[in-house]
């Protein structure tokens, strides 16, 4: 039996759907029904129920325009940083293995490999880098699980959300038996405010940059597979292998008929000012090699995007595949 925290949220709902599909016995917990943020409540519950595994899919994502408010920061700190620490200690005391949904937004940029050497570029929206990616995507390597997060409170400027997610990882990664699953820009064919493909449709402008993505269904299945195949506990980047520029993604949405016009694309200046640096959002490439080497299969980003876009075009139904994304996915480094 599995205990699922945050079952009413975007990721929690996806985990619940996948567990039902597999016929796995689980208990979905929401804060409205059971206050799992209370140490004593959760400790007694796990001690009595003795679940085989716990999934923490609870979290708080604040709209960017509200992130600076005291209330939003308090909610973000409680849900994204303090709750995982408490869950880690409860699971340690009750000897419960568990998994935590983290985020790839604790990184920004990518590693550029040229002449046998790698350098980190933090801002992939600089025109020369975006054009370089179009010409040589194989030279862009993702951050792996041994790389220290470079978009955190320790490495500002940073969004408050990303700071709290990095803080949680730092606090829990050596406590008990746990998986830390890093997902990035979730998407599928279903319209939702949390679906990045839906978000693009409401944007008048986008940064001209490059990113990794996580197909929601693929990555929830991959997270569970790590547990079922007895993969070593630890941190895993759970993204569909590859990367794509937001410009080409928008062009694919336009071709699929889900966009009526392309948004404006803005490249960053080659030498950004301090004011620009302070507002720099996270856009990054992650390396999913560790996940694949653990024996967990995951579709390439190109295939996953094609599938979702075709289903969006045909009202959620499968359709004969056509190549929509013109660039191949970046192979894992």
- Which domains does the chain possess? 2-313 (3.40.50.720)
- Provide the pLDDT for residue 62: 79
- The upper half-sphere exposure of residue 298, i.e. CA atoms within 13 Å in the direction of its Cβ, equals 37
Whole-prediction pTM value? 0.92
Helices (H), 202-320: 216-228, 246-255, 274-278, 289-293, 301-313
CA-closest candidate to residue 14, choices 4, 23, 2:
4
Residue 240 burial (CB count, 10 A): 26
pLDDT in tens, 165-178: 999 999 999 999 99
pLDDT classification of 323: cutoffs 50, 70, 90: very low
pLDDT classification of 333: cutoffs 50, 70, 90: very low
């Amino acid at each position: 039996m599995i205990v699922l925290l945050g079952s009413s949220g975007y990721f929690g709902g996806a985990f619940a759907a996948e567990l039902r599909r597999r016929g796995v016995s689980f208990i979905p917990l929401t804060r409205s029904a059971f206050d799992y943020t209370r140490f004593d409540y959760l400790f007694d519950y796990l001690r009595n129920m003795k679940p085989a595994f716990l999934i923490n899919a609870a979290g708080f994502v604040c709209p960017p325009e509200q992130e600076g408010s005291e209330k939003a920061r308090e909610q973000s700190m409680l849900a994204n940083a303090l709750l995982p620490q408490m869950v880690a200690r409860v699971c340690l005391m009750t000897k419960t293995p568990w998994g935590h949904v983290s985020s790839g937004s604790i990184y920004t940029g990518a590693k550029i490999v040229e002449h046998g050497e790698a350098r980190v570029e933090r801002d992939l929206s600089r025109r020369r880098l975006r054009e370089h990616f179009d010409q040589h995507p194989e030279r862009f390597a993702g951050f792996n699980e041994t790389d220290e997060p470079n978009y955190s409170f320790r490495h500002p400027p940073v969004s408050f959300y990303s700071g709290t997610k990095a803080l949680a990882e730092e606090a829990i990664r050596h406590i008990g038996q746990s998986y830390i699953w890093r997902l990035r820009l979730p998407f599928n064919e279903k319209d939702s405010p949390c679906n990045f493909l839906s978000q693009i449709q409401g944007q008048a402008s986008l940064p001209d940059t490059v990113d990794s993505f996580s197909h929601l269904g693929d990555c929830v299945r991959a997270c569970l597979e790590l547990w079922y195949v007895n993969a070593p506990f630890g941190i895993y980047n759970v993204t569909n292998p590859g990367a794509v520029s937001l410009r080409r993604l928008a062009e694919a949405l336009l071709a699929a008929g889900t966009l009526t016009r392309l948004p404006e694309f803005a490249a960053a200046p080659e030498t950004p000012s301090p004011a620009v640096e302070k507002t720099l959002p996270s856009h990054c490439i992650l390396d999913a090699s560790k996940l694949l080497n653990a024996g967990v299969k995951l579709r390439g980003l190109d295939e996953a995007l094609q599938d979702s876009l075709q289903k969006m075009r045909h009202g959620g139904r499968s359709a004969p595949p056509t190549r929509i994304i013109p660039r191949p996915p970046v192979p894992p480094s």
